[in-house]
């Protein structure tokens, strides 16, 4: 055993002190004596001893209490207790507080030395084991830190923006792409801040204030400089929310060019089609037709009318998408709902459908374009009537809730397959289960969606195949002055 170990004696009895000192000093242990509380504390501050011998009775306190206190602070420090007498209760307490050994009179040098060396050996083994454990834990911690570092590097290298917020909407993390997208140059500038302070963007704030159950799969975030991001929001249990962003400005630009092209083509095709219809009307007037000729002409007429309808809807959509309907006024939405309902009610009755209307008691004003809003209602109620089989049920319901107008058009029609639901608001998309003989261009809901977007609202569908569909439109309520 190394002879230069430091042994601290907390023994007040002078004779005992001398005995321990001469026994331990003879094998060149360094011995320090602390016979006062203050010297003990000072000695411990200067150097932690390799071993302590504490007498059961110190004149300022019980040696047990000192040992217990020291073992709480230095759990691996070997402590030998010197007790005047050896009783079972004393031994029990010594074991309970974790004393290494105890000595009792008569004190013999060999007993003292054996006890000291054995206690030091045990402490050494414990020390080795602790060091090994610490090394092992440190290595596994280092591995975790390396892994986290790798995740951090990956998240910072990807092109998509990632923003993670805690439950109180404070920024936990924003990767380099997200910071670039929102013009934040330093990570530290936003870490821990409420997102509303860290990032100023109206669309993002609107997205973050939506109820997570109603959040759409793709949301657009627009910037004044023309950039557009697509954003997806997910709740992460025990963390908060994660929002990912993709820059879709390029696709939006292409989409715009495509729309302009469609608009131009539709416009140019309309005049020759009007001419065709005009000449068809004239054919009958210039000479008698056979039954078969009349039937063929009727078919030509129906088809040309179909194409004209399609072109008209395309032009209409182009106009709405181009944002030409900027003129908005304060309108009474419930009046528009009532008018749309009353004009379509007859069609439902002709199909023996039960159709009902429910309007709110309080006023439902909003700032909007009445013609477009009527068009939106005609399309939604018209679809419900068109797709629901004879004898089915349709309900149109308007509610005012938390500064929002909520319109629900419910039907007991065929429903929409889950795989089709995310696409039905796309242009020309028709679900795979459209009943035979039910015509359409696949443009109605695209028009509806554009109108809703133009009014700062949201639309979604809840549908169960074979049971029916509910289209919900939420529009911002505006108080009448
Ligand atoms: P369409 O001219 O085909 O009716 P829409 O854009 O209005 O075009 O609707 C797109 C598709 O959504 C429809 O083709 C149909 O498959 C589905 N759809 C719309 N409304 C309903 C409804 N009330 N019930 C069942 N399916 C519907």
- How far is the C-alpha of 104 from the C-alpha of 87, rounded, in Å? 10
How many A from CA of 349 to the centre of ligand 1? 20
Pocket flag, ligand 1, residue 469 (CB < 6 Å)? yes
User: Residue 231: its pLDDT value, please?
Assistant: 94
Give every residue of the chain whose pLDDT is below 70, as ranges: 1-3, 214, 325-326, 481
Q: Are 14 and 2 in contact (CB under 8 A)?
A: no
Segment (H or E) for 331: strand 329-332
Q: Give the pLDDT of residue 221.
A: 92
Could you tell me if 308 and 277 are in contact, meaning their C-beta atoms sit under 8 angstroms apart? yes
Q: Which of 444, 448, 463 is the best mutation target for the ligand 1 pocket, counting ligand atoms within 8 Å of the beta carbon and taking the most? A: 444
**pTM of the complete model:** 0.56
Query: pLDDT at position 354, please?
Result: 97
- Closest atom of ligand 1 to 442 CA is 8
pLDDT (tens digit per residue) in 132-159: 999 999 999 999 999 999 999 999 999 9
Q: How far apart are CA 318 and CA 332, in angstroms?
A: 26
CA distance 430 to 436: 12
Rounded CA-CA distance 481/478 in Å is 9
Determine if ligand 1 sits within 6 Å of the CB of residue 444: yes
* Helical (H) or strand (E) element with 277: helix 249-283
- Rounded Cα–Cα distance for residues 428 and 445 (Å): 9
Reply yes or no: is the peptide bond before residue 124 cis, omega within 30 of 0: no
Burial class from Cβ neighbours inside 10 Å (0-12, 13-18, 19+) for residue 137 reads exposed
Dist. CA 451 → ligand 1 center (Å) = 16
Nearest atom in ligand 1 to 430's CA? 14
Whether 422 and 462 have beta carbons less than 8 Å apart is answered as no
> Looking at residue 214, what is its pLDDT?
66
Cβ–Cβ under 8 Å, residues 351 and 385: yes
- Asked whether 411 lines ligand 1 (CB < 6 A), one says yes
Q: Which residue has its alpha carbon closest to ligand 1 atom 17? A: 431
Ligand 1 atom having least distance to the Cα of 446 = 6
- The strand pairing partners of 410, in sequence order, are 395, 470
Ligand 1 atom at minimum distance from 447 CA: 6
């Amino acid at each position: 055993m190394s002879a230069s170990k430091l042994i601290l004696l907390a023994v007040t009895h002078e004779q005992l002190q001398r005995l321990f000192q001469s026994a331990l000093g003879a094998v060149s242990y360094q011995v320090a004596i602390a016979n006062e509380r203050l010297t003990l504390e000072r000695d411990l501050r200067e150097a932690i001893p390799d071993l302590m011998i504490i007498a059961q009775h110190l004149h300022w306190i019980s040696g047990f209490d000192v040992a217990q206190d020291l073992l709480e602070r230095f759990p691996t420090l070997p402590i030998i207790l010197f007790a005047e007498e050896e009783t079972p209760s004393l031994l029990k307490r010594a074991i309970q507080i974790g004393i290494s050994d105890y000595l009792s009179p008569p004190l013999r040098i060999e007993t003292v030395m054996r006890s000291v060396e054995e206690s030091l050996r045990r402490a050494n083994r414990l020390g080795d084991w602790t060091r090994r454990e610490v090394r092992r834990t440190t290595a596994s911690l280092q591995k975790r830190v390396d892994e986290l570092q790798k995740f951090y590097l990956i998240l910072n290298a990807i092109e998509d923006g990632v923003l993670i917020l805690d439950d109180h909407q404070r920024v936990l993390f924003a990767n380099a792409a997200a910071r670039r997208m929102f013009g934040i140059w330093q990570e530290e500038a936003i870490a821990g801040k409420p997102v509303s302070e860290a990032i100023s963007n109206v669309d993002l704030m609107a997205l973050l204030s939506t109820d997570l159950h109603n959040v759409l799969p793709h949301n657009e975030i627009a910037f004044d400089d023309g950039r557009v991001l697509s954003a997806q929001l997910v709740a992460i249990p025990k963390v908060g929310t994660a929002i990912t962003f993709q820059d879709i400005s390029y696709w939006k630009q292409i989409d715009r060019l495509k729309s302009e092209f469609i608009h131009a083509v539709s416009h140019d095709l309309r005049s020759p089609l009007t001419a065709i219809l005009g000449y068809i009307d004239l054919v009958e007037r210039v000479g008698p037709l056979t039954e078969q000729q009349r039937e063929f002409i009727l078919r030509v007429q129906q088809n040309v009318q179909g194409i004209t309808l399609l072109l008209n809807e395309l032009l209409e959509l182009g106009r709405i998408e181009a944002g030409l309907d900027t003129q908005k006024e304060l309108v009474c939405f419930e009046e528009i709902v009532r008018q749309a309902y009353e004009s379509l009610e007859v069609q439902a009755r002709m199909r023996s459908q039960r159709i009902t209307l429910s309007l709110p008691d309080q006023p439902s004003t909003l700032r909007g374009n009445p013609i477009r809003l009527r068009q939106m209602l005609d399309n939604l109620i018209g679809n419900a009537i068109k797709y629901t089989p004879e004898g089915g049920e349709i309900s149109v319901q308007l509610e005012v809730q938390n500064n929002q107008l909520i319109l629900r058009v419910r039907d007991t029609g065929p429903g929409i397959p889950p795989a089709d639901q995310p696409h039905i608001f796309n242009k020309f998309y028709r679900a795979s289960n459209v009943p035979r003989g039910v015509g359409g261009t696949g443009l109605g809901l695209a028009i509806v969606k554009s109108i809703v977007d133009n009014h700062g609202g949201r639309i979604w569908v809840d549908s169960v195949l074979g049971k029916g569909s509910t289209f919900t439109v939420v529009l911002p309520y505006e108080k009448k002055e």
